[in-house]
Amino acid sequence: MLADAGRSPLKERAEGLRPLLEKYFEVVAWVDDLASELPDDKVDFAVVLGGDGSILRTAHLMGYRQLPVIGVNLGRLGFLADLLPEQLDEALSRVVAGDYRVVKHLMFECRVELPGEKPLEYLGLNEVAVLAGPPFAMLDVQLYVDGELVTTYSCDGLIVSTPVGSTAHSLSAGGPILRKDLQAFVISPISPHTLTNRPVVDSADRIYELAVPEPHEGTTLVIDGKACRQLTSADRIRIERSRAEFQLVEVRGYGYYRTLREKLGWGGRLKLDD
């Protein structure tokens, strides 16, 4: 079981669910520091108590040893942590009965080529973003696919997102929603200067590269919401499918479209969980 103990209200709610979890599972470890290492014990599931941010940190923590994740939403919207605490008893009984499936989701590897230095390498689940930063003027970002120049975006930033990340920063930038188990990336410019520059969806089997010929002082590479590096004109950012796959447990009756319908308020108002 994993929870972010750095947030006191979340820790208290997570501790309150512990008896219910122990009713159905043998708990081999209770991890309350998402910057630590996972235990080496044989584990069948990782139950994450928190929001989507907690699940992102858990995916990073697991690295190339991804476990099936049951996400319990103690945050707000919760696209990945889609089970509410009041749904947990019924959902876990179905998991124990085998009435569930494990859906594998695309993860990516981002490699930053640095002249004369060792490349920087990152594993991610949501998105790679190049953000203009101070002095907040228009930025030119070049996009290459399989070595071919596609276009140069004049924009406030550019996002390369997985389907899981399509309901995060990319959606806020006007990108499309991709079903989470699709094998594709979506490229979404942020406030493009040319209105014909629209989001593009392409195969996850291609290699995507970004370059910024004239970055600003504060132009930054951001991966899954974390600032990783201020970019220079010589940096080359390479994004491709990872051999690691994020695994999410989906319980019958709590599927993808139900989550979208309830969380995005389709046909009604937006639902924010307490």
Residues near 258 by Cβ (< 8 Å), separated by ≥ 6?
none
Decide if 131 contacts 156 (C-beta within 8 A): yes
Decide if 135 contacts 217 (C-beta within 8 A): yes
Would you give the end-to-end CA distance of the chain in angstroms?
A: 22
- H or E stretch covering 108: strand 100-113
52 is an active site residue: yes
Region of 58 (left: φ > 0; alpha: ψ -120 to 50; beta: rest) is alpha
Region of 159 (left: φ > 0; alpha: ψ -120 to 50; beta: rest) is beta
Structure tokens at 60: 């990073």
The strand pair at 208-211 and 100-113 is best described as: unpaired
Query: Whose CA is closest to 218, among 150, 130, 153?
Result: 130
3-class DSSP string for 113-161:
ECCCCCCEEEEECCEEEEECCCCCCCEEEEEEECCEEEEEEEECEEEEE
Q: Which amino acid is at 75?
A: G
Selected catalytic residue, list 32, 33, 40, 52: 52
The residues annotated as belonging to the active site are: 52
